Amino acid sequence: MPETAAQTMPETLPDRMPVRRALLSVFSKEGIVDFARELAALGAEILSTGGTLRALREAGIEAREVSEHTGFPEMLDGRVKTLHPKIHGGLLGRRDLPSHREAMAEHGIEPIDLVCVHLYPFEETVADPSSSRQDIVEKIDIGGPSMLRSAAKNHDAVTVLCDPADYGTVLEELREGGVTRATRRRLAGRAFARTAAYDAAIAAWFASEGEGTGEDILPVRLTLALERQTVLRYGENPHQRAALYRLGGARGGGLGAARVREGGKELSYNNYLDLDGAVGAVADLPAPAAVVVKHTNPCGAAVGPDAAGALERAWEGDPLSAFGSVIALNVPVDAACAEFLTGGGRFVEAVAAPAFEAEAVEILRTRPKWGKSVRLVEIPDLREAGRGLELRRIQGGILAMEPDRATAFQEDLQVQGEVPLPEGREQDLRLAQTLVKHLKSNAVCLVRDGMLVGAGAGQMSRVDSARIAVEKAGERARGAVAGSDAFFPFPDGVLVLAAAGVVAVAQPGGSRRDEEVTRAAAAQGVCMVHTGRRHFRH
């Protein structure tokens, strides 16, 4: 009886391992035909399945079907095809252990020296808003991750590939006698990273499916799937390295999946931070609306009759700060918006919107000092960008919380004291209290006629924020309304606002001095309104 390959395997493994048998099973066919052709030319037997097998045979490459190799048919609509001892035994069997070699020989298990697997596109399917729940479930790959893990575990003998970018390196080493131990180890690490990210994306999707209140939104074990999208020029400062990672596994891609239209500079780390603030704020506002952000804080915001009207009013909220800012709109950017932005010596770093009309893109890309600089960021699902947990890193851990989706447009405004809310100012008050939640605490902002006219943010005392908001507003403070992200602990902040001509103030309430603060406001003819909801943003 002739010896099998399993019986003749050496007891000590060389640094370079040849490939006598390879299993190729890929969803994406990128480069697989050329790779298989090279493997065959180097003497490897090719095993394959499904669409990969068809692609290889159509290209004239001899390949053996996995079901023929295992003696067990593919079944259950392809759910079971590689989950077989002849596959996993061929991958996991240690070539340096006599007991493993004997067991493989006894059961007719031939070693598999290379596995190339691309997993079902689960993340892409989740990201597609047209995908049904069943579409997503069917894209949960089982056999693929199992083969990657088996091959990666036995990397002392087996080469594992999960990325076409590595085909060239493997072929080059095979031409030189075999894949080196260092390369096999590196590829094994990449395979485990891929399956870990894949499983994390699946876990994240299940978590998002149960999104709501209570413990469902704060799981005992939080699993993240992050894939590097791009390396940025630098971080917050030039001496810091940085990259953008996309969070996978949940619907609503937001900025991580935004389309950055060609022609402008690359987005920077700080651009992304500012855009995050602008997109989050404008998503809370009724359409059409625009928000201007500088250093993560809204410095201008407005609702308007149309996109250009909202944009112009938002800019005029603080024209000095608006220069070099980022802007977000919750409606498409049209030609009138582009004409406004490119006129009058204005300039912004980036504009985000659900869409850009062709004429607007033409204007923004061809005007002097604009075309090669401004970034145009398209986020079709702009109002869904805030789904999922908010995460912040601290030393040695991560803080997670559900996002603050509440806005004053839904809250019950409770007038306190005897001064009524001036007629026609309710919407302004709701706008102020919605915008203030997007300013860094302590925060106070002033709104007049649907337009942010002054904002004070990030101060250690609320009275200082009130002073800054009034100073920014100037004469526009007279007749404006104010929003505060938390209660006024003393009357001083309200008195600053009243002295500037503010006619109504919205705040959560909840201070033990609420009655004192309300009396002080009433003495100045200012209406005090409580919302019952705080909006700190640290």
CA atoms within 13 A on the CB side of 414: 10
Q: Which of 481, 422, 421 is nearest to 454 (CA)?
A: 481
Q: Please give the single-letter amino acid code of residue 205.
A: W
Q: 442: cis peptide before it, omega within 30°? A: yes
| Sign, CA torsion 413/416/421/425 | negative
CA distance readout (Å), 263 to 111, 180, 266, 269, 311: 51, 43, 9, 18, 23
CA distance readout (Å), 468 to 117, 242, 276, 277, 300: 59, 33, 24, 20, 14
Largest Cα separation within the chain, whole Å, is 107
Give yes or no for a contact between 497 and 490, defined as CB atoms under 8 angstroms apart.
no
Helices (H) and strands (E) in the chain — how many of each? 19, 21
State the Cα–Cα distance between residues 120 and 28, nearest whole angstrom.
Answer: 8
CA distance readout (Å), 161 to 79, 183, 194, 344: 21, 11, 10, 55
Q: Which of 428, 519, 434, 525 is nearest to 481 (CA)?
A: 428
Q: Give bridge partners of residue 452 from the DSSP assignment.
A: 447
Q: Which residues contact 367 (CB under 8 A, 6 or more apart)?
A: 342
Give yes or no for a contact between 306 and 336, defined as CB atoms under 8 angstroms apart.
yes
Buried b (16+ CB within 10 A) or exposed e, 494-533: bbbbbebbbbbbbbbbeeeebeebbebbbebebbbbbbeb
Q: Which residues contact 192 (CB under 8 A, 6 or more apart)?
A: 148, 149, 152
Residue 48 φ then ψ, to 5°: -155, 175
State the Cα–Cα distance between residues 327 and 290, nearest whole angstrom.
Answer: 7
Q: Which residues contact 77 (CB under 8 A, 6 or more apart)?
A: none
Q: What tokens does 178 get?
A: 């075999």
Q: What tokens does 90 get?
A: 């061929």
Tokens 């030189």 sit on residue = 176
Q: What tokens does 311 get?
A: 């944009």
Phi-psi region of 502 (alpha: psi -120 to 50; beta: other; left: phi over 0): beta
Q: Which residues are catalytic?
A: 153, 295
